[in-house]
Amino acid sequence: MHAIGIDIGGTKIAGALVDAQGKIVFEERVPSPAGDPEAMVDAVVGLIKRLSENHEVIGAGVAAAGFIDAEQSTIIYAPNISWRNEPFKAKLEAKLDIPVIIENDANAAGWAEYRYGAGRGYKHMIMLTIGTGVGGAVIADSHMLRGGFGIAGELGHLRMVPDGLLCGCGQHGCLESYASGSALLRSAKELAASGDPDGKRLREIEAEAGQMTGLEVYKAILELDPGALRILNELGAWLGQAIGSLVAVLDPEVVVIGGGVSAAGDLLLNPIREAYLAHLPARGYRPELKITAAEFVNDAGVVGAADLVRVAFRDR
């Protein structure tokens, strides 16, 4: 039977009807009414109704950034949408005749990679999603690790540096402050402004574009500009060091790197691998770890959310 996956972003909502092999049958995107919780319910309900027209579906999985409770029902906290303890599952189910589960968006994306992407065939996987922030997902022994309160796998908040950079979570020194797209952009701006010869090309690109955004940094990376590669290397080194700690805790077979910044491919993966090997506890006494790029580009959230509906109803 088919299932529906929904991925709520800050600017748009993606929805898809997904078959039992993880293939998208039909897909639709609508604008995200991020500031308006009631309009959000209506937008998601409308999308689910249209996607399920003329199809028998097992249920809908809805992915969103934020803390979701262990019952996959309530959005406890969403950083980018005005939700606090939002009983989103109940609100959706009141207007639908199919069951709904709510899932963290990084978890949904990680599940898609585990089932149908770069983590296929493994039982123990972690995924780091390098976007505006750093998201995480942990698959342990073929199960999504959700934790006691539903908020495990927040790998961007592993603390890397005592009294380090301030993070959006209120703490200091979190991985996210060193290894996110935002951190890369900050480093690019700093390097461009520093007068360092390595910042020359970034300075030019910034001047041409009128401002520095992720696109400008990515352009300099693709040009193999030494300054852009230097800051990408630094970002990769933080990720590799974090993976060293995560391996001590979770011992995965494979680490999948996704998110916008992962488009840099081996230019990002190689410094991650080098730093990981340099920071692995008891190196030589465990098999080497596979560190690889995500296979899904845009659809991991909807495919993962749809598949997790199957898991939820198989488990119940």
Residue 71 near a copy of itself by CB under 8 A: no
Closest by alpha carbon to 144, among 88, 86, 104? 104
Q: Which amino acid is at 277?
A: L
Cα–Cα dist 251/248, whole Å: 6
Residue 248 near a copy of itself by CB under 8 A: yes
Residue 287 near a copy of itself by CB under 8 A: yes
Cα–Cα dist 202/298, whole Å: 28
Taking CB under 8 A as the binding criterion, the range among 5-13, 18-26, 110-118, 246-254 that sits at the site for a copy of itself is 246-254
Q: Which two tokens stand for residue 311?
A: 């898991």
Taking CB under 8 A as the binding criterion, the range among 203-211, 224-232, 238-246, 305-313 that sits at the site for a copy of itself is 238-246
Cα–Cα dist 50/229, whole Å: 45
Residue 158 near a copy of itself by CB under 8 A: yes
Binding mask 186-215 for a copy of itself (x = CB under 8 A): ------------------------------
Residue 154 near a copy of itself by CB under 8 A: yes
Tell me the three state secondary structure of residue 99: coil
Taking CB under 8 A as the binding criterion, the range among 11-19, 53-61, 104-112, 138-146 that sits at the site for a copy of itself is 138-146
Q: Which two tokens stand for residue 54?
A: 């003329």
Residue 80 near a copy of itself by CB under 8 A: no
Cα–Cα dist 199/150, whole Å: 43
Q: 162 to 191, contacts with a copy of itself by CB under 8 A?
A: 162, 167, 169-171, 174
Residue 28 CB, shortest distance to a copy of itself, in Å, is 32
**Number of residues binding to a copy of itself, judged by CB under 8 A:** 52
Please, what sign has the CA dihedral across residues 181, 187, 191, 194?
Answer: positive
Residue 250 CB, shortest distance to a copy of itself, in Å, is 5
Of the residues 30, 41, 140, 277, which one makes contact with a copy of itself according to CB under 8 A: 140
Nearest to a copy of itself of 89, 146 (CB atom) = 146
Reading phi first (left if > 0) and then psi (alpha if -120 to 50, else beta), residue 284 is in left
Residue 76 near a copy of itself by CB under 8 A: yes
Alpha carbon 103 to chain centroid distance?
A: 12
Residue 248 CB, shortest distance to a copy of itself, in Å, is 4
Closest by alpha carbon to 165, among 155, 154, 176, 156? 176
Residue 131 CB, shortest distance to a copy of itself, in Å, is 17
Cα–Cα dist 51/61, whole Å: 13
Residue 253 CB, shortest distance to a copy of itself, in Å, is 4
Of the residues 9, 27, 87, 122, which one makes contact with a copy of itself according to CB under 8 A: 122
Those residues whose C-beta lies under 8 Å from the C-beta of residue 110, and which sit 6 or more positions away, are 119, 125, 126, 127, 129, 136, 137, 138, 139, 144, 153, 256, 300, 304
Cα–Cα dist 276/289, whole Å: 9
Taking CB under 8 A as the binding criterion, the range among 48-56, 189-197, 219-227, 282-290 that sits at the site for a copy of itself is 282-290
Nearest to a copy of itself of 153, 199 (CB atom) = 153
Gyration radius from the chain CA atoms: 20
Binding site for a copy of itself (CB under 8 A): 67, 76-77, 122-124, 136, 138, 140-141, 143, 145-162, 167, 169-171, 174, 241, 244-246, 248-253, 279-283, 285-287
